[in-house]
Amino acid sequence: MSFRSLRGLAAVAAVLAFTARAAEGYTDTPMQPDGKWHVHDPARPKPRVITPGATFSQGVPAPSDAVVLFDGTDFAKWQGEKGAEVKWKLQNGYMETTKSGRIRTRDEFGDFQLHLEFATPSEVQGSGQGRGNNGVNIFGRYEIQVLDSYQNETYADGQCAAIYGQSPPLVNASRGPGEWQTYDIVFEGPRWDAAGKLVKKAYVTVLHNGVVVHHRRELYGNTPYRALGNYNKPHGPTGYLELYEHGNPVRFRNIWLRPLGDDDQP
């Protein structure tokens, strides 16, 4: 094949790649179970934008029965990848990502109510998925996306508060860059029987800045990039919580969790 032909093929490939990502998303990914949209489909309708209510400048206090995972003073409840020391920045009552890898809780939890507060960078750099990207990764498998989605276009199932790759939030309740925001997440884990058969899927309820954006939403399974989630790998009823590191200096503070279980029923 001639050099000119090779160059022509390379140009066509470049155009196709640009076209596939021009609107930030993909059309060569699997279809969602409803058969309407691809995973990360750029044409999927974006949630309408609303203005959330007032924020709490000092954060939402933890209830008396909560497990305080981060109070702004140390990383005692956290560890780095493979059990390493956490190397994120710690100052002024918050932690901030550095390019040192994701972190996870030392303890594992079952069904829970989780509260955390986050702030994407006040200085806007990049766009789409490159702007304030992080995530709350439940059991290391089920991600609630963290992103700067204030006047920032990206694929609907990847914007802030989305169940990543599956379900966009009901509305876009994002605050502006640098402002503190809240997540309140109620998670019900999946269950398998002794033979490894799935008997209950996972469900999640999410409030973003006090606004319900998922109401006991069923998860298709785990939340991979450019792929459809599944429950092919059974796991136990407990797992760790993980915060990502995607090269964006996202801040977190005031993280607490209330375990939920059969003993909580009256």
The residue-averaged pLDDT of 250-255 equals 98
The owner of tokens 């607490």 is 256
Contact indicator for 243, 80 with CB cutoff of 8 Å: no
7, part of any domain = no
Chain centre to alpha carbon of residue 152: 16
Q: For position 56, what pLDDT does the model report?
A: 64
16 confidence band (pLDDT: 50, 70, 90) = very low
264 confidence band (pLDDT: 50, 70, 90) = low
94, part of any domain = yes
Our count of domains for the chain comes to 1
Q: Which of 203, 202, 157, 129 is nearest to 37 (CA)?
A: 157
Comparing 5 with 55, which gets the higher pLDDT?
55
Calculate ∠ Cα 215-256-133, nearest 5°. 70
Residue partners of 185: CB distance under 8 A and separation at least 6: 112, 113, 114, 115, 136, 138, 144, 204, 205, 206, 207
Q: In which domain, by residue range, is 185 found?
A: 47-264
Does this model's pTM top 0.85? My answer is: yes
Q: For position 18, what pLDDT does the model report?
A: 39
1, part of any domain = no
On the question of pLDDT at 217 being above 70, the answer is: yes
In this predicted model, what pLDDT tens digit does every residue of 228-249 receive, in sequence order? 999 999 999 999 999 999 889 9
17, part of any domain = no
The answer to which of 20-29, 36-45, 59-68 has the lowest mean pLDDT is: 20-29
The residue-averaged pLDDT of 217-223 equals 98
Q: Cα(178)–Cα(161) distance, rounded to whole angstroms?
A: 17
The residue-averaged pLDDT of 151-166 equals 97
On the question of pLDDT at 118 being above 60, the answer is: yes
163, part of any domain = yes
Q: For position 58, what pLDDT does the model report?
A: 64
On the question of pLDDT at 2 being above 80, the answer is: no
12, part of any domain = no
Q: What is the CATH number of the domain that holds 127?
A: 2.60.120.560
In this predicted model, what pLDDT tens digit does every residue of 65-112 receive, in sequence order? 999 999 999 999 999 988 999 999 999 999 999 999 999 999 999 999
DSSP 8-class letter at 105: E
147, part of any domain = yes
208, part of any domain = yes
